[in-house]
Structure 1
């Protein structure tokens, strides 16, 4: 196996328009196109590739009928031929040196097996909406994830294939948080991760509070999958729910650090949104753990 061969895996769910921007950026990569492959995993089998759709010559499109982005990523891993496996999402736009910098970083840092790259937000105008202010503080803090938990998100993550061979693939029953769960498994098995600031993808900030609410429900539904079934420990589920309703006091420090250019009313707004979303996440986690369909499952049942 070529030690520098990279497999890039991208799940997509009815998102061909944004995926085209991602593919254009991958076509323009400074890394030799003969040394990386792109595996697009269509997670909505009824959606065919649009007519005259651009696919790079090193791109393969496969279909995964089992719902969920982690099931799709696992299908991509099965097809991958690279020694290094990289992940991004269909709404991300990789920097021109994304793959090259990832390979160089992994070669230079022989004491790590995984890296989490930087996910930079871009905004639709200079005047940020309330949702964009929130995203500015809370979206994709990869450096914090790495240093605090030893985790990274699949929006921008690379790993040697042998880590998946050793600890297994993603849990395909999770609709959210599968990258966190896998990262903890990898960490517990001794596979180290580092943050690579120059390994960059760009991601649009969410503009509307409704988008943040949808994300919060998705997170809550995913977190419910980490807990034992409620019929085994209903008391624990209730205690966890009450614990999750606490005001996020620790958020004040992060808002102060990352929001130095915000005025006080904007900082208070961000804190209020954080608390509001944490309650929504807690409620979704609690109700799904007691048998309610998650928001993601509702969507899938109606498609």
Structure 2
């Protein structure tokens, strides 16, 4: 497992069943298994590998006790050998050409990072309220790349030299660490491109409670972006008022991605968007005032 071309890093937290599906998809990759390694980072030390668990030959499972997926990813990076580092999550299933298409694009284009397409799959044909929301808002990688020069670690590849230059993920963030790192990479001049045929499949969140948990986690992460000296009560109140604005700009996205939705469903998605933005804003405000950010 030395000097691999590609290292795939997967943090996991009490998720062995879904990780098994992820690893099975990596066993079926068209990319030569002798040229990539898989590093699974278990982020819950008390949760041991289940008996008889199937681990691919090019995969190793390690443990990182520091809470948070970014601490886990950093540990994986530090132990990896690839000149290209790829990331996905334990609940994701990779298309068989995922690594092949990502590497081919990186090697034939003038860029240092890529964000691949993330397809959602659903529990049933009739979408729940949460799934309707996810259909519009989840993992719009092309938008992230074009608007901010960022990409999420559910499907992201980068040359190692980018990490050597800009550093690792911030381990104190329990959410938004991929965004914060991407901004550093962008500002350092490392180009990113969106790659439509480097595909990861991700389950849509099924229940509103899952969306609420994520909204709180995102709020805590956003609070962590600020400088400590800037977290005074007055500034936090001003930021809260700003963050509580109705998300009017999202109407355009709902119209674009929700062409097959009924008007009532579009209105529902907008309401959920606003509701979650309020939850995120409140959590960000509370963490800025001293509350501990939650992993959820």
Q: TM-score, normalised by structure 1?
A: 0.95
For 1:58-77, list aligned pairs within 5 A. Answer: 58-77=58-77
Task: Say whether the 8 Å CA contact 1:135–1:206 is kept in structure 2.
Answer: yes
Determine helix, strand or coil for the equivalent of 1:295. coil
| Count of residues in Structure 1 that have an aligned counterpart in Structure 2 | 296
Q: Using the alignment, how far apart are the partners of 2:194 and 2:206 within structure 1?
A: 27
For 1:144-183, list aligned pairs within 5 A. Answer: 144-183=143-182
Cα deviations by residue, 1:70-97 (Å, 9 ceiling, x for unpaired): 0000000000000000000000000011
Q: Using the alignment, how far apart are the partners of 1:66 and 1:4 within structure 2?
A: 27
Q: Using the alignment, how far apart are the partners of 2:171 and 2:108 within structure 1?
A: 33
For 1:125-204, list aligned pairs within 5 A. Answer: 125-204=124-203
CA-based RMSD of the aligned residues comes to 1.4
Task: Say whether the 8 Å CA contact 1:230–1:290 is kept in structure 2.
Answer: no
Cα deviations by residue, 1:144-163 (Å, 9 ceiling, x for unpaired): 00000000000000000000
Q: Using the alignment, how far apart are the partners of 2:142 and 2:275 within structure 1?
A: 25
Per the alignment, do residues 196 and 231 of structure 1 end up closer, same or farther by CA in structure 2, a change over 3 Å counting? closer
Task: Say whether the 8 Å CA contact 1:4–1:103 is kept in structure 2.
Answer: no
Per the alignment, do residues 188 and 130 of structure 1 end up closer, same or farther by CA in structure 2, a change over 3 Å counting? same
Q: Using the alignment, how far apart are the partners of 2:134 and 2:87 within structure 1?
A: 21
Task: Say whether the 8 Å CA contact 1:230–1:237 is kept in structure 2.
Answer: no
Determine helix, strand or coil for the equivalent of 1:23. helix
2:8 alignment partner in structure 1:
8
Q: TM-score, normalised by structure 2?
A: 0.98
Unaligned stretches of 5+ residues in structure 1: none
2:288 alignment partner in structure 1:
289
Task: Say whether the 8 Å CA contact 1:89–1:154 is kept in structure 2.
Answer: yes
1:220 alignment partner in structure 2:
219
Unaligned stretches of 5+ residues in structure 2: none
